[in-house]
Amino acid sequence: MQSPRAAQATHGSVTRAPKSQAGIRSIPLAHQVAAAVRRQLPQGATGDDLVFADPPAATAAAGRVPLSRYLFRHVYQGAVNRLTDPTRELSPTTRRILRALRGHGPQTVAQLQQSFTAPGARLRPATIQAALRELGSAGVVTAVAEGGTAQWAAVKAAQVRRFDDLDLHGPHDLRHTYATWLEDAGIPGRVIDELMGHDNTHRARQDRVSRIGMGYRDTTPEMLMRAVAAIESRLAVVLEVAAEETKSLPGSGEP
């Protein structure tokens, strides 16, 4: 169960309370989520410590502070940008090397080094190799063999996976996914509302059920376990697909 401090922190900052008491509630977590949460806790953390916080290195003077809504949105949008445009967050040097490969075709590390010999623009082989590994991980360049010589080539734009069909706006998208997965698994709408902190008054009217009747329906541990199982099964597929995609990226070291 969240402590009040942690519950407040997830809604913006320690000085900003949730919109309603429904924002402070116990939520059963899928084991994949619980494991990810544990990885975010500092060493030796207790149950009252903040989970989602600014990186310690960025707040060394103040210690771990609540993750602001702005920063959470920034992290989310950064992840979306990496999906839709793998080159958007690359360093300027890495983007320069990508432009060279796109403009002049496949090149070796030595040839790329010759492209950057102007004063103030020289690049060391180690820098070029590191950039090529980064570009390979992003899936925008690939290693090729020309006459037995290892070269790197830019992947054609049409071959770079795009996610333009996804209508993504912000972290609130995750709540839409959560609710949709649960409904698709046949979890009762009342249980979904409870897990998401929604008022069920509207649902009672929509389903033509009295509020008193809704009050007679309790959420059992078995219902919660079915909800957890539904999320776990979906996450298992998502993580498996992500692992396979990572293996197939150029430069991943996997066949």
What is the tens place of the pLDDT at every residue in 198-215? Answer: 766 555 555 555 555 556
Please tell me whether residues 241 and 177 are part of one structural domain.
yes
CB 189 within 8 A of CB 214: no
For position 7, what pLDDT does the model report? Answer: 36
Q: pLDDT, tens digit, for every residue of 96-107? A: 899 899 888 899
Residue 78 belongs to some domain of the structure: no
Q: Count of domains in the chain?
A: 3
CA 168, CA 77: separation in Å to the nearest integer? 9
Residue 253 belongs to some domain of the structure: no
For 161-191, b/e burial (b = at least 16 CB within 10 A) is: eeeeeeeeeeeeeeeeebbebbeeeebbebb
For position 64, what pLDDT does the model report? Answer: 65
Residue 166 belongs to some domain of the structure: no
Q: pLDDT, tens digit, for every residue of 174-196? A: 899 999 999 999 998 888 888 88
Tell me, what CATH number does 119's domain have?
Answer: 1.10.10.10
Last residue of a domain, one of 159, 185, 215: 159
Please tell me whether residues 186 and 235 are part of one structural domain.
yes
Q: pLDDT, tens digit, for every residue of 18-34? A: 566 656 778 888 999 88
In this prediction, residues 51-60 reach a mean pLDDT of 60
Strands 149-154 and 141-146: antiparallel
CA 119, CA 111: separation in Å to the nearest integer? 17
Residue 52 belongs to some domain of the structure: yes
* 68 or 238, which is more confident: 238
Please tell me whether residues 105 and 46 are part of one structural domain.
no
Residue 231 belongs to some domain of the structure: yes
Global confidence as pTM: 0.60
CB 252 within 8 A of CB 137: yes
Please tell me whether residues 97 and 133 are part of one structural domain.
yes
Please tell me whether residues 155 and 106 are part of one structural domain.
yes
Tokens of 157: 């734009």
Residues spanned by the domain of 147: 87-159
